Chain A
Amino acid sequence: MQNQRRRRELRSAAMLVAPFLFVFTVFFFYPTLKVITLSFTNAPLIGEGEWIGFDNYVKLLSDRLFYTSIWNNFYFVLLTVIPTTVIALLIALAVDHLKGRVQALVLTLFFLPYVLPVSVVTLIWSWMLDFQFGILQPMIEFFIGRPVAVFKDPHWVMPMIAVVTIWWTNGFNVLLFIAGLRNISPDLYEAAALDGATNWQRFRRVTWPLLWPVTALVLTLQMILQLKLFDQVYLLSNGGPFNQSYVVLLQMYREAFQLNHGGYASAIAMVLFLTIVIVSVLQFQLLRMGGRK
């Protein structure tokens, strides 16, 4: 009797899990395994290759272009992660003061870019920043004294891609911060006001510590997202000029789909994967400790 019921439960459990397991195995687990094994071969993009052990990784370690891309990746992280978090927090704090429909409207405005596909985002910005006709060039000219072809200038290219990226993805972070702010009871601010806290002290001693888990989450998500930078670079500058915007995923793409080095590209992918895992775990732990203090 009980055995029968247990079997029935197991059967329905298996049926419920099966679709997910199938999709996960075929589209995620198997490709992952395949990439790991590919990275130890000299396979082309299509077809099998020979097992060459750690040769790809050794080669990668002496590949100067790889170091350039890694450096560019971290430069980009530096340019985006903390600025976008700070900007999102400031916007969220401001939007939080608004009420009702006005708040919803403003929030929508900030969120709007996030729903655009990357191709549209890059098109808009490459038009706005066009060397001859871009509407932002007069502004650049006003500050610098001359127009700049930003995506063809080695100094401007990464910061401008960072600006585009922040504009594009910031709305999501604002949303996370708003959710975090709404979780803080208004009673606490009233208690703090009675305790004699100034606006700054209320932020410093109540909002900031209570918002810290959300801040840590935003920082970590941003870190992972920005290390995976590819689309914007591919569409805006294609890695140039002088490899100043050459990033790891772009290198992987070129090795795999333009140079037909499937094995080598897999090794690059693996290194990026491990980098992201290590950096984000490390970061999240550090941030959690920071919050507990």
Chain B
Amino acid sequence: MEGTGVNLDAVTKTFGIVDVIRGVDMEINKGEFAVFVGPSGCGKSTLLRMIAGLEETTSGKIRIGERDVTNEDPAKRGVAMVFQSYALYPHLTVFENMAFSLRLARRPKAEIMQKVHEAAEILKLTEQLEKKPSELSGGQRQRVAIGRAIVRAPDVFLFDEPLSNLDAELRVQMRLELARLHKALGVTMIYVTHDQVEAMTLADKIFVLQGGYVQQWGEPLELYEDPSNRFVAGFIGSPSMNFFNATIAGHTADGISARLDGQPDLGLEVRLSQALEVGAEIVVGIRPEHLALTDGPGLRVTVDVAEELGGMSYQHGTLEGGDAVIFQQSGARHGLRGTVQTVVPEPGNIFAFDREGDRLR
């Protein structure tokens, strides 16, 4: 832990009788881009607001750099936050919005001018400085909100779902700009989103939250390739992983052979070091991109919806037993809708979980 990273130690948050954050430890190093991701209601925004000081921390410690800021005023934590609603002051111009914190601190005029213009330069807002927020487009407002944060030169930037009010195209563009900004400024950033694509593309480190706990954290590909439970496996990756109930049918050299319930003909080989009894009930997870069409034996899928994306397509269908399946297909352009297809999983890319959702390794 060096410089101005963020460190959380057994942090909890209770609203009345509801435990929102049930004990979170995390360590974000200086200059890292950390992303909190999870479904709505998982507590990710609350956690961010606790780091910002907008929510009180029920127990545990929050440290920014070497300082314990658990009970510190928001303004004294050295953080700046970009809100989902942007929270621009509607009665002030772009310039005054960005200068707000410096004016409160009674900085000299020349310094305010210089800092605001520098930030405006970075964000290509120089032309808009005299406008009111209501005269700006969504993307420009977003930039002003970021500019307001930059001007304060904080140790840590906090973003609360900053792109969710933008249209899809702009969101992709702003995502890139944020990534560049992070590289240019080199400061610690913490970013909250429910969109796992944003999380995957931006993060140095992803924290997957659910039910008030960090389910797993790590680099994006680490989470994708080695999820530690069924929730993370389902949440990271798009479209999400297919899950099938299965029973262990036998042992192989480096793992087990599993039979899907309702598919007695097909044995799936899963690499496992854990020793499990034959007959144990497990859950098998296979990503849509790891299912391939085949002429031989496999899973017979009745395709009912095909999402054509041009270069590839996602085929949605059901197994004979009624389980929903999605598989990805690239290249072929002919429609598969309404047909029955046979797919097999790529060996080595099958995950096994116990029925409680924990990963079997």
Contacts and interface: CB of A to CB of B under 8 A. Distances in A.
Nearest to A190: B54
Nearest to B97: A191
A194 B80 contact: yes
A206 B104 contact: no
A197 interface: yes
Nearest to A198: B104
A191 B100 CA distance: 10
B79 interface: yes
A126 B81 CA distance: 57
A195 B83 CA distance: 13
Interface stretch (B1-9, B86-94, B109-117): B86-94
Given A196-B101, A196-B105, A191 B75 contact: no
A185 B100 CA distance: 17
A201 interface: yes
B54 A195 contact: no
Nearest to B52: A194
A241 interface: no
A191 B87 contact: yes
Given A185-B85, A187-B85, A201-B104, A194 B91 contact: no
Interface in A184-226: 185, 187-188, 190-197, 201, 205-206, 209-210
B258 to A, nearest CB: 50
Contacts of B85: 185, 187
A197 B87 CA distance: 15
B74 interface: yes
A188 to B, nearest CB: 5
B104 A197 contact: yes
B89 A193 contact: no
A101 to B, nearest CB: 16
Contacts of A187: 83, 85, 87
A238 B81 CA distance: 62
Nearest to B96: A205
B323 to A, nearest CB: 43
B152 interface: yes
A220 to B, nearest CB: 20
Nearest to B75: A196
Given A185-B85, A187-B83, A195 B104 contact: yes
Contact of B152 (A188, A190, A192, A195): A195
A197 B100 CA distance: 9
A163 to B, nearest CB: 34
Given A187-B85, A194-B52, A196-B75, A210 B101 contact: no
Give the size range of B's interface with the partner: 20 to 34
A99 B100 CA distance: 29
Given A193-B54, A195-B100, A201-B104, A206 B74 contact: no
Contacts of A197: 75, 104
Contacts of A196: 75-76, 101, 104-105
B101 A195 contact: yes
Interface in B161-202: none
B87 A185 contact: yes
A190 B55 CA distance: 10
A37 to B, nearest CB: 48
Contacts of B75: 193-197
A190 B105 contact: no
A208 to B, nearest CB: 10
A164 B101 CA distance: 44
B106 to A, nearest CB: 11
Contacts of A206: 89
Nearest to A191: B87
A191 B81 contact: yes
Contacts of B53: 193-194
A188 B74 CA distance: 14
A209 B91 contact: yes
A70 to B, nearest CB: 37
Contacts of B87: 185, 187-188, 190-191
Interface string A232-261: 000000000000000000000000000000
B79 A194 contact: yes
A199 to B, nearest CB: 12
Contacts of B148: 191, 195
A189 B79 CA distance: 16
Interface string B62-75: 00000000000111
Nearest to A210: B91
A190 B75 CA distance: 10
Given A195-B75, A196-B75, A190 B101 contact: no
Contacts of A194: 52-54, 74-75, 79-81
Most buried by B among A191, A192, A205: A191
A4 B66 CA distance: 81
Contacts of A193: 53-54, 73-75
Contacts of B91: 209-210
Contacts of B76: 196
Nearest to A196: B75
A197 B53 CA distance: 14
Nearest to B80: A194
Nearest to B55: A190
11 contacts: A187-B83, A190-B74, A190-B81, A191-B81, A192-B100, A194-B52, A194-B80, A195-B75, A196-B101, A197-B104, A210-B90
Interface of A: 185, 187-188, 190-197, 201, 205-206, 209-210
8 A-B pairs with least C-beta separation:
A196-B75, A187-B87, A195-B101, A191-B87, A209-B91, A194-B74, A193-B74, A187-B85
Given A190-B81, A195-B104, A206-B89, 11 more contacts: A185-B87, A188-B87, A191-B87, A194-B52, A194-B53, A194-B74, A194-B75, A195-B75, A196-B104, A201-B104, A210-B90
